[in-house]
Amino acid sequence: MKKPKPKIDVRRRIETHIRAILSPRNAESRMQAVKNAFLSGKKFISNTKRVITIGGGTGTFIVLSALKSISDVSLSAIVSVADDGGSTGRLRDAYGFLPHGDARQALVALSKEGTMLRDVFAYRFAKGDVKGHNLGNLLLTALTDRLGSDGAAIRAASEILNVRGYVVPVSEFPGTLIATLENGDRVVGQHAINARPPGGSPIRDISIQENISLADEANLAIESANLIILGPGDLYTSTLANFAVPGLKEAVAKAGGNILYFVNLFSTAAETAGYSARKHVETIEKYTGRKPDYVVVHTGALPADVLAYYAGKQAFPVTDDLGDDPSVIRGSFAETVFLPKIEGDEIERSLIRHDPAKVREIVRKLL
């Protein structure tokens, strides 16, 4: 059932823009704040629907890819600053800039498909000193070093790729994600949390080690959003890693826009072993300060070979125990994606993800 259109607090939006313009910053950032205020006013007058995603990884990539073709919608992707694995982690350690993994994926998702530039931006090197590095990560690092800020680098890359939408780091500074377990132990680092072996103590809480706060641009996006999309993606290290940054929970809790949450198709051994749909939603409510207005739950059958593959990784379909809650949207929303064979692997792997066409249809109806 479609709910009433959210009321946007225009006065609070104007005050936020003024704070962003007047806050201490360099000339380039101040000019960007003025530009943001102008564009915000233009979109408000034209009644453009504003949709933001908060998350990262493949799940957010799918959502952004699905929504960029909807007309009269302004897209913004708020991405984590806690990524510390792979190419992203190596460049972060070497240069001290924001991690660019989630930003890169969002930029690629929002760019025009089928172009050589888009494909090259996503290219990963397989040999030599740059083995394991992604070209997009290297380019974003070079742009940050050349232009002097991560925000300027992301804006420059957005122009290069001609993206439809905005990519906004949740904070202006990098952070280190910490998971506190039920037994009192702490796991430091997003990659270490995500790579925990099965059977460990459950996660009790997550936080950011450094004293950082919500970026002005992220706050502006949330203030003006008609719809805030959370998930799908690893619950703690992808979606909620953003909410470990002080200020985001408060911004989302008082935002006028509705929240749409995509419950994950599978639990994961490292983060959500045994989590039902209700446990997922309760955890989202804990970190956002409010209950999602809409919850999407997959109810269709899944292929036996896919179930067996995930079971081997101690990952199992999330049980729907949300009852007759009117906020729940149920249906068959998954699709099987076949991955190319990896050298040395004798079988063709597959994975399940949300179907982009069905994601697009859900959002269209809610807007």
pLDDT at position 149, please? 79
**Virtual CA dihedral for 23, 176, 105, 143, nearest 10 degrees?**
60
DSSP label at residue 134: B
Query: Domains in the chain and their CATH numbers?
Result: 10-80+213-366 (3.40.50.10680)
Other CB atoms within 10 A of residue 175 CB: 26
Please name the helix (run of DSSP H) or strand (run of DSSP E) that holds residue 263, with its range, or none: none
Whether the CB-CB separation of 282 and 244 falls below 8 Å is answered with: no
- Inter-residue contact 280 to 320 (CB < 8 Å): no
Q: What is the pTM of this model?
A: 0.84
Query: Which residues does 309 contact at the CB level (< 8 Å), separation at least 6?
Result: 349, 350, 351
Q: Which of 63, 57, 92 is nearest to 75 (CA)?
A: 63
Q: What is the pLDDT along the chain (367 residues), one digit of tens a residue?
A: 455 555 555 665 666 656 666 665 555 556 656 666 555 555 554 468 999 999 988 889 999 999 998 988 999 999 999 888 666 556 655 656 676 778 888 999 999 887 787 888 878 887 777 777 778 888 888 888 888 878 888 888 898 899 999 999 999 998 999 999 999 999 999 989 998 988 899 999 999 999 999 998 899 899 889 999 999 999 999 999 999 999 999 999 999 999 999 999 999 999 999 999 999 999 999 999 999 999 999 998 998 988 998 999 999 999 999 999 999 999 999 998 765 544 444 444 558 899 999 999 999 999 8
Question: Which long-range contacts does 69-73 make (Cβ < 8 Å, 24+ apart)?
Answer: 69/360, 70/360, 70/363, 70/364, 70/367, 72/47, 72/48, 73/48, 73/49, 73/367
In this predicted model, what pLDDT tens digit does every residue of 24-80 receive, in sequence order? Answer: 555 555 665 666 655 555 555 446 899 999 998 888 999 999 999 898 899 999 999
Q: Give me the pLDDT at residue 350, please.
A: 56
